[in-house]
Amino acid sequence: MEQKQMLGEVLYMKIAPTQPDLAGKITGMLLEMDNAELLHLLEAPDALNNKVTEALAVLHEFSQKETTEAK
């Protein structure tokens, strides 16, 4: 659990410059992955960028559904 906390903090710091408004939510989504995968993301910036892009797509899809259901 403590390792997850530390990984989350480092991930957040890497995500925040490009996604300041969503960094917390994206970090939370990524923390669902196992620690080995998270360590890989920290070592491979392209892999992290791909995961952030995937997370943004999921968030966008969710917000579209939420907007549609509210009407």
CATH code at 64?
1.10.1900.10
Buried b (16+ CB within 10 A) or exposed e, 12-21: bebbeeebee
Report the alpha-carbon distance of residue 54 to residue 71 in Å, rounded.
26
pTM listed for this prediction: 0.87
Q: Please, which contacts does 46-49 make with residues 24 or more away whose CB atoms are closer than 8 Å?
A: 48/11, 48/14, 48/15
* pLDDT of res. 33: 97
Q: What is the number of structural domains in the chain?
A: 1
Grouping H, G, I as helix, E, B as strand and the rest as coil, residue 43 is helix
More confident: 1 or 44: 44
pLDDT digits (tens, 9 = 90+) for 8-53: 999 999 999 999 999 999 999 999 999 999 999 999 999 999 999 9
End-to-end alpha carbon distance in the chain: 41
Containing structural domain, residue 35:
2-70
